[in-house]
Structures are given as C-alpha cells and as structure tokens.
Structure 1
Amino acid sequence: MTQGAEPDSGFCWPEALCVPVRELSDFSRLWVALSGGLDSTLLLHVAAHCHGPAGTVNAVHINHQLQPNASKTEAFCRALCADLKVPLVVERVSVEASNDHGSSGGIEEAARNARYGVLEELMRPRDILLMAHHADDQAETVLFRMLRGSGVAGLAGMPASRALGAGRLVRPLLHLERSELERWAQVARLSWVNDPSNTDERFDRNFLRHRVLPLVRSRWPGLNRRLCHTAGACAESETLNRKLAELQWQSLGGERDRLSTSGLKTLSLAEQRNLIRWWIRERGFQPPSVGNWQQSLHDLLFAGEDREPELRAEGFSLRRFQGDLYLVTKKIPLPQTSVVLEPGPAQRWGEWSLKLEPVAIPKSPPPPIRISTRQGGERVRLHPGGLSRSLKKWLQELRVPPWERARLPLVFAGPEGSGELVAVGDLWCSEQYSGGAHAAGWRLVVERECD
C-alpha cells in the first residue's frame, strides 16, 4: 500500500478532474468501480467531492480472489468508503485460471468477463458507472489490439461512454495521463493499494506496459496523444461503417434474425463483411475472428442448394436456408423425454412456454397431454374431419428451418403411443384447444420467448 492521508481541509481538487465528473447529470445512482488502486481511489474522491452531498455516489469493489493481498485490498476499500460516507457493494467472483496467460482466453480475459458480468447485473435504468481508465490505458489498449490484428472497431479503443446493462459506463479520466493522476494523488496525500499482478510480465498487457511502451515513448514522447488520435479516427470510421450497414440492412429488408442472401450478393466483399459484423453486434454478440472472411462468406452465399453451410462463433452461428441467412443463437437444452402438461403453471420447453388453462368451467378433466419433439413419421390433421398429412412436408412448405423443426414442441392429447397431435409450437393449434375451446373445455397457450 502507498501510504498517505485524507486531503487537507484546504486542498482544492483541480478542475481538469472535476469538470467531466461534475457535468454528469440525469442519473439516479452514480457508481464508481473501485479496485483500490491509485486511479479508482482518486476517482472516488473526486466523485464524492462533486456529488457526495447529494447522497447519490456509490462504490462497487470486485474481489477476484486471485492475489495474495485480495483480502487486504477489500478491507482498504471498505475503510475508504466508510471514511467518505459512500455506500459500498463488494462482490466476490471465482475466476478459473488458465495456463495460457497471454491468450485472449487467459486469466486476464476470464477476470474481465467475470467483472463486467457483475457490473452489468448491478446497473439499473438511469445508473451511471464511472471507471478510472486514462490516456495511458487507452494507448495500451490500442497497441494491444493492433498486435492482435484487430480491425477498425478494435482500434477505436475504449469509448468514453457506452451502454452497460440497464445503465451506462462513463470514463471521465480518459483524456488525462497517469502521471497527472499520480501527481494529484500525491498532492492530495491519498492512500491506495498497489496490485502485485500489475508487475507480472507473463501477462501481455503488463509486458507492453513495462517493456514495450517505455522504449517506444523514449523515441516518440507524444505516443499517448498519437495513439489516442488513431483511436479517435478509427472510432469515426466505425461510426460511418455502422451507419452504412444500417442503411443497407433496411434496403435489403433484413429482419431480426434473418437476411436475404440475394440482396447480400449484390454488395462488395467489404460491404458484406461490414454488414454481417454490424448484424452480429446488434444482436449482442462479438463477430468471430475469421482468418478468411472471403471464403467463409462465399460458402454461406454460394454453396450448393443441397449443402448446409454454417459459420460458428461464441454463443451463435450463421446458417443458410432457402435463400436466407439466419443468425441462430445458442439454445436452452430440451428435455430428453416427453413431458406431461398439467393444468396450472406454465411448462418450460427450451425457449417455449406451454400452459393448459380451463375455459369457463370445463365439463371434464383434460385427457393426458404430453409435450415431445419430432421423432419422425408424425402426421397433422389441420382441420376436423380433414385428411392428415406429413408433418415433415408441412413444415417444409412453411419454410421452417431444419434446426427450428427439431426444437418445436409437439403437443399430443391422449394415451402415449396413440395420442392425437393437437399443436405444433405456435404454428398451429387444433380448434379443440384454441379460441373458445368449445370441444375440450381447455385452452392451450403456447408462447415463444424472444432471445
């Protein structure tokens, strides 16, 4: 721990620190992400100085339980918030270590994902979370992403503000260098905790911070300014890319999870890639790191009609069916066997919800009702007294994609093995169990949740 004390009564916080924090308004709660280090400790003091009297400042400390001094750091954060009369929320997370320290899937990435997961859950509408990233962090991020081969979106660096859960994340110190923050913290006689992991050069960011960046700065003293300028230029380009993608999406008649391949084929490769990446991000996912986008897009757009091309990524995949490209999200596992549907609370079936409810006073209890998936050979009678037909062919005529057919809840009424098919997802329901349900006295309600 770097020793210090509370600011002297006559200490005046500099306007360069206060203005971006003081200008924040229209929030219900102001949170500060408090690690206990110099940057976040300084930011908490400034936030308490600017907004503390209103009682809206809160702090959140994420204890990753990775460092030997994790408990001492947590105790420091508790004591600091008690002194400042700032409510503190402490969340302990478990992070699975990885042997691959330098990769995107290593311990750094796992800790970051765990941290942001907690912060997203914490945010309510009109909440603002302050994070103490500064210009040195921005330069480090841009260089790190450059070395990883990131595109324009990655080289835009960290945004000064973005959505986070139901609230917003704001970085009010992003224009200031760490040397400035350290000087003000020392003048204010603050205390903070030094994280021992920040000196471990097995981690890529620490290697850049301690080995690479000092050497580069000795040659180009204005490196932070240069890299931040690059980030700003890339952010402008990314904004234009998003606007172009949105316009093209509208002109091609794109839907939430579906896009016509015929329209996509009229675009250049760069436009195709830009539109697909925009679509993926709009759905809340990260575009995959594809080594050869040209080949991947060619397979999705031009593979033979008898093929089922697919581009898999984290949490979703892109698949083609009958001239359309689909964004298919990872689904909830379905029950392994059929499930009995009883009157009362809704029954969950993957992303579906099924409920059996009485209409007025039913004349008799419902027959045995069970939910199952396709086993093959099912037939559906769409109209009373009409001919039955193959369920498989009917679904094909409706252009239901194969991966959706396999998940549709099929509802049967009657004894197992001889029951009658009375509903197919939300595509069709027998007149006996829909509307007034005059024949059975029971109504079947089938709903599908949006992702």
Structure 2
Amino acid sequence: MKTGGKPAPVTDWPDDLSRPVRSLPEHRALRVALSGGLDSLLLLHVAAACHADVVAVHVNHQLQPDHEETEQFCRDVCAELSVPIIVERISVPVGTGQAGGLEDAARNARYRVFDHLQQPGDLLLMAHHADDQLETVLFRLLRGSGVGGLAGMPRTRSLGKGRLLRPWLAVGRERLEQVAAGAGLDWREDPSNQSQVHDRNYLRHAVVPGLKQRWPGLLRRVAHSARACADSEYLNRKLAELHWQACADGGHRVTLAGFRALDRIEQRNLLCWRFRQNGWPLPSLADWDQVLTELLEAAEGGQPELRGPGYSVRRYREHLYFVPDAMTPAGDVFLEPDKPLRWGSWRITLAACGAADTADAPVSPIRVSTRRGGERVRLHPGRPSRLLKTWLQEQGVPPWERAALPLVFRQGEEGDELIAIGNLWTSDQYSGGAPAAGWRLIVERDCD
C-alpha cells in the first residue's frame, strides 16, 4: 500500500496551505488529528514540513470493517514522516441505531479523546475546510439553530486545557484535492462517507453540488454569513454580560426587579447566556414568551419554574434562581477528619487546626443529614434554641433548598447538637481563627 511518502520541503507546498500552518500561536505541544482521509493526511504532511514537534492523533472508532487497516495505514504514514502517533481505540454506543444518533455519538466520543489529551499550552490542528463549514451551516439551519449555530465552526476555540485550531477553514476541498493529487499522496476513504443515510452526507452529495452549480461563489457567501452570525453572537454575549452585572445577586440568582426591567428578547438572551456559562444545554421551548410570562407573573406564593435538561430556573420572593439538579445522599453520612465529603452541590470538610496539628485531638462523631422536621439550633451559647424551620424562613432560604441543605450534627452523651447549617451558619466551636474544638468545619457551595 502506498502511504504518501516523505513530505516535500515547506517551500514546495502552496503558500495558501502552508502559510496558515506556519503562523501558529505559541504552543507547548502540537498535535494533528489524523483520520487517514485526504484532508487530515494532507494537513499532517504540511504540518510536519513546517514544524518539528508534530504528533499525530488517530481515533479508531472501530465502526468500519476495515478499521484495523486504516489504523495501520496511519501508523505507516507517521513512520515514513518520522512523526510520533497516538492511537486511541474507542467503543461508540450505537444507541437507538438512527444514523444521526450514531454520527453524533462518534463525534462526541472522538472529541472526548482530544479533550483528555489537551494540556495547558497544547494546540490541536484539525483539517476542517470551507466545504465542511458550508455543510455545518446548512445542517444547523435545517435544525433551526440561532445565530450561534449559524456562525458555524470557529477557527479556534478552547479544547480541554489547551486549544483547537482549524487553519484551513477558508480553503475549499477542491483545492485540497488538487494539491494532494499533485503531490502524489494516497489516503483512505471512509466507506460511510458515501452513504446518504447520514444527514451531512446527504447534504454533501445530493444538495451542495446543485447549490454550487447555481451559485459559484457559494463557499464565500456562506462564510460571509457565518462571520456575520458570529459577530451577532459575540454582541449577544457582551450584552448578556452587562445585564448579568446589573441583575445578578450572587453567583446563582438574579433580582426579579432587574430581570423584569429587561424586554423579552433581552431576558431570553440573558437566560441562554447563563445556561451556556453553566455548561447546561438550552431548553426546548415552543413558546418562550408564555414560559417567561408564567415565571414572572405568577401569584405571590406560587412556585413557577422553567425546566431544562438537568436544571431549572425557579422564582422565590424577589429573585430568580438557577438551580442544577443534584443528587443528595439518602440517610446519614459520618464525616471523617481531613476527608472532604461531597453532598449535592456542597463540599464539607473537617480540617485539623491549632493543637490538632501536633496531637491527636479527640473528635466527636460528626453526622451529616438532611431535615427530618423539628430540628432546633442554638445560634449563641447561653441563649435559647430556635426552630430551624423558622430560622430558614427568616433567612430567605428557598423551599427547594431547605430539603437538600446539609445539616451537620455533633453527637454527644446528651444528644446531637446542630453545629452547621449548610454554608449559612457554623458554630463558634468549629469556626473562627482558633476553633475551640481544635477542628475547623468548612462547608462550601459550588456556586459561591
């Protein structure tokens, strides 16, 4: 099998392909995603000619009958180029068996490999080109994407702890084919690329050729529209950041008055921006106006909410809260010294301090649980205790948080003593500069 041969000197590669590969940002490690197809193979050759520190990454999805031959082909190419190669074999969940589902699952699995590899300062090159961008924009248009989706693939973005860069996003596939053929390169074709069962392949083979014939400047026109959408999305994000600064009251809520002062489009823009900031998928809502009206205009004492995948937006008193779904441990859990405990969205630690650093200070059993009803708390030594339910209401703790709030008890001969209420209050015995118990109780919440 012909494997492509040694790379030509950098001066022999056309400037429109080598220039964007030569002028890379500073990096610690440089990797090239290598599938074995024309685009990635040509990119590896050009990158290896321009840089001495290139490493190839081949992700074997094990979906095609000839996947082992393709993997060996990539190894042979890298051997002839004297380029190290990282090969990752993965298993892609087939799911429902629908073509689009499998296609998306393979892509997500591939990017998880890249994400894991990337460390601070690392750069991964991918060979996406202008035709890929066209297909992406058309595909997202048919899915009903907004301007963020219609912006297409960005030239560069963060990936894992490093960055991803697509140096040939402005170059058409026809140009890449021309250069590869002129250099006598050989590559492997993925048989699934010819199947029009996959949506992107249908666009590539059945739709795009006719569009290009009708509009010869199609790649340039779509690229221009994608850039305009990217600009609009950038402005949307900047506007949302300004509105968040004006409305936010802490890291997980906004004031109702500030949110109401925005118009409907601004409210929706702010919510979508915050969902993305939290890494949450956008909710599938047929009528945003109706949902926002119900959220904002419900009667006092009502508990309206906007539900999304894995989260909700809830209203309580004069605030809107961004609430992630969280699993809270059932039953009691005992806290061990210097071993942080994850409790829903809280992290609880019993840390040694003072005399406990140098001696084995006795530790009373510390129990963590949720409310069961009837709990009392003594906020100040020598003063009467109070019903926890009443105190939580006075503090304005939303009802849904009260049920999941971690309560920390110290067990003693005279019964259990409540020493911490989430991150809202901690007994003086376990807080301050020199806790009397010799141990400091630290309760932290993710969104604080």
TM-score normalised by the chain length of structure 2: 0.92
Q: Does the aligned pair in 2 maintain the 1:252–1:260 contact within 8 Å? A: yes
1:446 aligns with 2:440: no
Q: Structure 2 counterpart of 1:143, which letter?
A: L
> Which residue number corresponds to residue 382 of structure 1?
379
In the alignment, the residues of structure 2 paired with residue 76 and residue 102 of structure 1 have an alpha-carbon distance, to the nearest angstrom, of 26
C-alpha deviation, 1:100, in angstroms: 5.6
How many equivalent residue pairs?
A: 444
> Which residue number corresponds to residue 92 of structure 2?
95
Please point out which of 334, 340, 358 is paired with 1:346.
Answer: 340
Moved more, 415-424 or 301-310: 415-424
In the alignment, the residues of structure 1 paired with residue 200 and residue 381 of structure 2 have an alpha-carbon distance, to the nearest angstrom, of 68
Please point out which of 159, 165, 176 is paired with 1:164.
Answer: 159
Could you list the runs of 5+ residues in structure 2 that have no partner in the other structure? none
> Which residue number corresponds to residue 336 of structure 1?
330
Q: Does the aligned pair in 1 maintain the 2:8–2:49 contact within 8 Å? A: no
In the alignment, the residues of structure 2 paired with residue 59 and residue 133 of structure 1 have an alpha-carbon distance, to the nearest angstrom, of 16
Aligned with 1:406: secondary structure? helix
Residues 446/252 of structure 1: CA separation in 2 closer, same or farther (3 Å cut): closer
C-alpha deviation, 1:248, in angstroms: 2.2
Residues 92/396 of structure 1: CA separation in 2 closer, same or farther (3 Å cut): farther
> Which residue number corresponds to residue 268 of structure 1?
263
Moved more, 235-244 or 408-417: 408-417
Q: Structure 2 counterpart of 1:144, which letter?
A: F
In the alignment, the residues of structure 2 paired with residue 299 and residue 171 of structure 1 have an alpha-carbon distance, to the nearest angstrom, of 44
Aligned with 2:348: secondary structure? strand
Residues 20/348 of structure 1: CA separation in 2 closer, same or farther (3 Å cut): same
C-alpha deviation, 1:354, in angstroms: 2.1
> Which residue number corresponds to residue 49 of structure 2?
49
Please point out which of 282, 290, 297 is paired with 2:292.
Answer: 297
Q: Does the aligned pair in 2 maintain the 1:359–1:443 contact within 8 Å? A: no
1:24 aligns with 2:18: no
Identity over the aligned pairs, expressed in percent? Answer: 55
Q: Structure 2 counterpart of 1:47, which letter?
A: A
Aligned with 2:286: secondary structure? coil
Equivalences for 1:23-422 in 2 at 5 Å? 23-52=23-52, 56-99=53-96, 101=98, 103=100, 106-253=101-248, 255-331=250-326, 333-350=327-344, 351-357=346-352, 359-360=354-355, 365-414=362-411, 418-422=415-419
Q: Does the aligned pair in 2 maintain the 1:363–1:441 contact within 8 Å? A: no
C-alpha deviation, 1:381, in angstroms: 0.9
Q: Structure 1 counterpart of 2:150, which letter?
A: L
Residues 401/114 of structure 1: CA separation in 2 closer, same or farther (3 Å cut): farther
Moved more, 298-307 or 125-134: 298-307
In the alignment, the residues of structure 2 paired with residue 346 and residue 3 of structure 1 have an alpha-carbon distance, to the nearest angstrom, of 53
Q: Does the aligned pair in 2 maintain the 1:288–1:313 contact within 8 Å? A: yes
C-alpha deviation, 1:96, in angstroms: 1.2
**C-alpha offsets along residues 276-335 of structure 1, whole Å, 9 cap, x if unaligned?**
21222222333223221111222222222332222232343222222222222243x332
C-alpha deviation, 1:140, in angstroms: 0.5
C-alpha deviation, 1:93, in angstroms: 2.3
> Which residue number corresponds to residue 435 of structure 2?
437
Residues 312/59 of structure 1: CA separation in 2 closer, same or farther (3 Å cut): farther
**C-alpha offsets along residues 90-113 of structure 1, whole Å, 9 cap, x if unaligned?**
22222211336355xx11122222
Aligned with 1:414: secondary structure? strand
Residues 274/102 of structure 1: CA separation in 2 closer, same or farther (3 Å cut): farther
In the alignment, the residues of structure 1 paired with residue 424 and residue 249 of structure 2 have an alpha-carbon distance, to the nearest angstrom, of 22
Residues 165/314 of structure 1: CA separation in 2 closer, same or farther (3 Å cut): farther
C-alpha deviation, 1:151, in angstroms: 0.9
Residues 406/225 of structure 1: CA separation in 2 closer, same or farther (3 Å cut): same
Q: Does the aligned pair in 2 maintain the 1:2–1:194 contact within 8 Å? A: no
Moved more, 3-12 or 210-219: 3-12
